[in-house]
């Protein structure tokens, strides 16, 4: 059928075999082998189109191998490995198998060369991943999972509709760069946008990621949104609209992140903000910008996973990740704290950490192309992300006021996963050349210049200064047990309320109409009865004299009319 072994099949085979392996360390070890094998396969895949099959008349390409798909395939394999190591202690077969299938579907999607197989993998990621939310096994997680599934599957349905229309327009299902214009391309764009958490389509992300299990969130954070980034980079590079969408994405989540109490939701908001940088890169579309997007996705998957891991460890040991309930954990969980700070420094793009050598490509590209306002927004968003992810997360979890909690350090597997991820975060920051070599285009970029280092340090340290001043003066909003309304309010509260109102209204109108018509019918029957019943006026026996009198009157009237 195919000349090469598609890496996603390794995950499928692994997921099928996994339940037969004794639950415990052997099974955990087995699951770790899968991403290693897949990374090995991806590394040695020759460039070009492979795995081409004809399925029900469609030309399916399972493996389109180039630098763009390879870098995403590799980082997905690495993320799967780290996530599974972090989840070593999990004995829940559902989570174990769906984690593998989810990673497999995401890897399948980035190598898909046509829109049909992309659609199948696209839905695969949706269906496999919802189990990581449902695995929490609470009522709230059940409902959150349903919302997540409806939106994710909905995105797939829109993608399929777009694919069908695209085929009608062009006669091809090849997944390649498109230009917005037809209904088909807009539908495909929208499908990607839902998974990429475009503004107003974003709430599934902040809703669902904090609802997943301790380990589930770490795995979720890597794949779905970055698959969408890949799909946009493949399908719509250089689409100017994406610059403005991306800039908006970097901007508004940071306001929410400042006031959000659930620290894993703060991270979900900052994930959204980081996606914005990548989307801007795709919109700018120059080789430098697309390299920026690919490298930033790579670095982002690692530091975001690291941050989710550290917050997961806190949740695992204390039962909560609410900023209002935490504080002072650095004494008893110092290693987790240090790993968290490394993740925080990486997302904030401190020199010598991964974000510094990747995000700057996107900023440079946008300024080179003359998008000065966008550049200003990105700069603001960079300072903002340092503010809430870089300072707020470690500060409220590990320092701030002492919560009195003295949890034990995270278990060994979590520490090891965080340790390895930290090594990557620092390694990329200190020595970015190997990552740059993996990027889709050959572009010379030197991140460590005096100007770049000093200006970035100025931006970050003065943001920290702002935080300190606001904290000392009591202006900084304290963490409170609250939820903040976001756009999801429209479909979680407003739309149901409107539907309820409409239902009540229609019931009333219907009832009124039924009432009125039955009254009218009743009246009719009463009138009929009055006239025609045995006692009715028409059925009564009339005296003949009355009859004659009426005929005389009628005759008289006729005569008068005739002769006048």
Partner 1 sequence: MSDDMNQKPDTDPASLPWLGRKLLWLDDMKNVDRIVYALFVVCAGLFAADFFYHKHITVEIEAVPGFYALYGFFMCAALVICARALRVILKRPEDYYAPHDIESEAYPEDQLSRKTIND
Cα dist from 405 to 146, 314, 333, 399, 409, whole Å? 34, 11, 10, 12, 12
Closest by Cα among 151, 251, 257, 250 to 491: 151
Residue with token string 């889709």: 440
- Alpha carbon distance 257, 261 (integer Å): 8
**Nearer Cβ to partner 1, position 82 or 314?**
314
The interface with partner 1 within residues 236-275 (CB under 8 A) comprises: 254-256, 258-259, 262
Taking the least distance from each CB to partner 1, the nearer of 200 and 553 is 200
Out of 73, 193, 199, 210, the residue judged to bind partner 1 by CB under 8 A:
210
Does the footprint of partner 1 cover residue 529 (CB under 8 A)?
Answer: no
Q: Which stretch binds partner 1 (CB under 8 A): 109-117, 139-147, 153-161, 166-174?
A: 139-147
Cα–Cα distances (Å) from 284 to 226, 253, 290, 328, in that order, read: 18, 21, 8, 43
Contact between 492 and partner 1 per CB under 8 A: yes
User: DSSP assignment of 340-356, as one string?
Assistant: HHHHHHHHTT-TTSHHH
User: Applying CB under 8 A, which of residues 43, 441, 462, 550 lies at the interface with partner 1?
Assistant: 462
Q: Based on the shown chain and the rule CB under 8 A, indicate whether residue 139 belongs to the binding site for partner 1.
A: yes
Q: Return d(Cα 204, Cα 491) in angstroms, integer.
A: 11
Binding mask of the shown chain, residues 84 to 103, with x at each position contacting partner 1 by CB under 8 A: -----x--------------
Report the SS3 class of residue 174.
strand
The residue from 387, 418, 422, 429 that contacts partner 1 (CB under 8 A) is 387
Q: How many angstroms separate the CA atoms of 466 and 462, rounded?
A: 6
Q: Does 500 bind partner 1 (CB under 8 A)?
A: no
* Dihedral angle of Cα 484, 488, 493, 499, to the nearest 10 degrees: 170
Q: From the list 38, 129, 152, 213, which residue makes contact with partner 1 (rule: CB under 8 A)?
A: 213
Question: CB of 342: closest distance to partner 1 in angstroms?
Answer: 14
Binder of partner 1 out of 437, 482, 561, 564 (CB under 8 A): 482
Decide whether 477 or 543 has the Cβ nearer to partner 1. 477
Distance of closest approach, residue 59 Cβ to partner 1, in angstroms: 44
CB 86 to partner 1: min, Å: 14
Tokens, residue 250: 């970097």
Number of residues that bind partner 1 (CB under 8 A): 86
By CB under 8 A, tell whether 438 contacts partner 1: no
User: Which span (117-125, 381-389, 421-429, 513-521) binds partner 1, by CB under 8 A?
Assistant: 381-389
Question: Which residue number, 31 or 213, has a Cβ lying nearer to partner 1?
Answer: 213
Identify the CA nearest to 213 among candidates 96, 82, 337.
Answer: 96
Range 391-395 contact pairs with CB under 8 angstroms and sequence separation of 24 or more: 391/344, 391/463, 391/464, 391/467, 392/257, 392/258, 392/266, 392/323, 393/263, 393/266, 393/267, 393/307, 393/311, 393/340, 393/344, 394/337, 394/340, 394/341, 394/344
3-state secondary structure of 59: strand
CB closer to partner 1 out of 182 and 403: 403
**To the nearest whole angstrom, how small is the minimum distance from the Cβ of residue 95 to partner 1?**
10
How many other CB atoms are there within 10 angstroms of residue 434's CB atom? Answer: 9
Residue 523 binds partner 1, judged by CB under 8 A: no
The interface mask with partner 1, positions 14-43, x = CB under 8 A, is ------------------------------
- Hey, what are 137's tokens? 């096994």
Question: Within 297-356, which residues bind partner 1 (CB under 8 A)?
Answer: 315-320, 328, 330-335, 338
Among 481, 508, 523, 540, binds partner 1 (CB under 8 A): 481
DSSP H/E element including 61: strand 58-65
Please tell me whether residue 470 binds partner 1 under the rule CB under 8 A: yes
Among 28, 105, 211, 397, binds partner 1 (CB under 8 A): 211
d(CA 253, CA 206): 10
Q: Which residue, 189 or 339, has its beta carbon nearer to partner 1?
A: 339
Q: Is residue 359 a contact point for partner 1 (CB under 8 A)?
A: no
What is the Cα–Cα distance from 452 to 450, expressed in whole angstroms? 6
Shortest spacing between CB 189 and partner 1, in angstroms: 30
Pick the stretch among 111-119, 298-306, 416-424, 463-471 that binds partner 1 (CB under 8 A).
463-471
User: By CB under 8 A, which span of 152-160, 448-456, 499-507, 510-518 interacts with partner 1?
Assistant: 448-456
Site for partner 1 in 398-437 (CB under 8 A): 399, 401-409, 411
Do 260 and 485 form a contact (C-beta atoms < 8 A)? no
Question: Between the CA of residue 413 and those of 420, 423, 536, what are the distances in Å?
Answer: 11, 15, 95
Minimum gap (Å) between residue 317 Cβ and partner 1: 6
Q: Which of 5, 186, 244, 380 binds partner 1 (CB under 8 A)?
A: 380
Distance, in Å, from the CA atom of 188 to the CA atom of 16, rounded to the nearest integer, reads 32
From 103-111, 161-169, 173-181, 365-373, give the range in contact with partner 1 by CB under 8 A: 365-373
CB nearer partner 1, residue 489 or residue 510: 489
């Amino acid at each position: 059928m195919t000349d090469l072994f598609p890496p996603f099949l390794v995950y499928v085979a692994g997921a099928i075999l996994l339940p037969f392996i004794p639950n415990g360390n052997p099974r955990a070890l087995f699951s770790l082998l899968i991403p290693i094998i897949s990374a090995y396969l991806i590394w040695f895949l020759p460039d070009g189109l492979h795995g081409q099959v004809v399925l029900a008349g469609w030309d399916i390409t399972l493996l389109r191998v180039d630098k763009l798909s390879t870098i995403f395939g590799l980082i997905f394999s690495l993320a799967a490995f780290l996530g599974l190591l972090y989840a070593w202690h999990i004995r829940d077969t559902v989570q174990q198998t769906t984690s593998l299938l989810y990673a497999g579907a995401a890897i399948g999607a980035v190598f898909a060369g046509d829109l049909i197989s992309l659609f199948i993998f696209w839905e695969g990621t949706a269906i496999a991943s919802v189990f990581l939310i449902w695995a929490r096994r609470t009522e709230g997680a059940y409902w959150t999972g349903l919302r997540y599934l409806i939106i994710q599957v909905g995105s797939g349905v829109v993608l399929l509709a777009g694919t069908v229309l695209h085929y009608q327009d062009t006669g091809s299902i090849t997944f390649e760069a498109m230009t917005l214009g037809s209904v088909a391309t807009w539908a495909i764009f929208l499908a990607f946008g839902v998974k990429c958490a475009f503004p107003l389509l974003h709430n599934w992300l902040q809703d669902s990621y904090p609802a997943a299990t301790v380990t589930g969130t770490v795995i979720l954070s890597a794949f779905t949104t970055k698959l969408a980034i890949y799909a946009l980079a493949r399908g719509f590079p250089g689409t100017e609209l994406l610059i403005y969408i991306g800039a908006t994405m970097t901007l508004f989540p940071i306001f929410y992140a400042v006031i959000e109490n659930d620290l894993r939701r703060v991270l979900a908001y900052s994930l959204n903000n980081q996606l914005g940088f990548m989307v801007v890169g795709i919109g700018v579309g120059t080789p430098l910008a697309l390299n920026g997007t690919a490298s930033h996705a790579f670095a982002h998957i690692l530091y975001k996973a690291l941050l989710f891991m550290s917050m997961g460890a806190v949740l695992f040991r204390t039962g909560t990740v609410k900023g209002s309930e935490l504080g002072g954990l650095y004494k008893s969980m110092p290693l987790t704290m240090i790993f968290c700070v490394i993740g925080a420094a990486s997302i904030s793009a401190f020199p010598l950490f991964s974000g510094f050598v990747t995000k700057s490509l996107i900023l440079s590209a946008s300024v080179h192309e003359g998008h000065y306002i966008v550049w200003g927004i990105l700069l603001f968003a960079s300072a903002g992300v340092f503010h809430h992810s870089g300072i707020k997360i470690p500060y409220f979890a590990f320092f701030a006021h002492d919560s009195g909690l003295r949890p034990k350090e995270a278990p060994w597997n979590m520490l090891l996963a965080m340790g390895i991820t930290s090594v990557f975060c620092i390694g990329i920051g200190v020595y970015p050349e190997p990552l740059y070599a993996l990027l889709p285009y050959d572009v010379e970029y030197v991140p460590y210049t005096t100007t770049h280092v000093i200006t970035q340090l100025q931006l970050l340290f003065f943001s920290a200064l702002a935080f300190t001043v606001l904290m000392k003066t009591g202006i900084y909003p304290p963490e409170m047990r609250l939820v903040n309304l976001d756009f999801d309010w429209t479909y979680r509260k407003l739309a149901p309320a409107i539907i309820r109102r409409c239902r009540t209204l229609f019931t009333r109108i219907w009832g009124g109409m039924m009432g009125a018509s039955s009254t009218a019918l009743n009246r009719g029957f009463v009138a009929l009865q009055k006239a025609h019943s045995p006692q009715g006026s028409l059925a009564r026996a009339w005296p003949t004299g009355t009859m004659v009198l009426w005929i005389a009157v009628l005759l008289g009237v006729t005569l008068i009319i005739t002769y006048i």
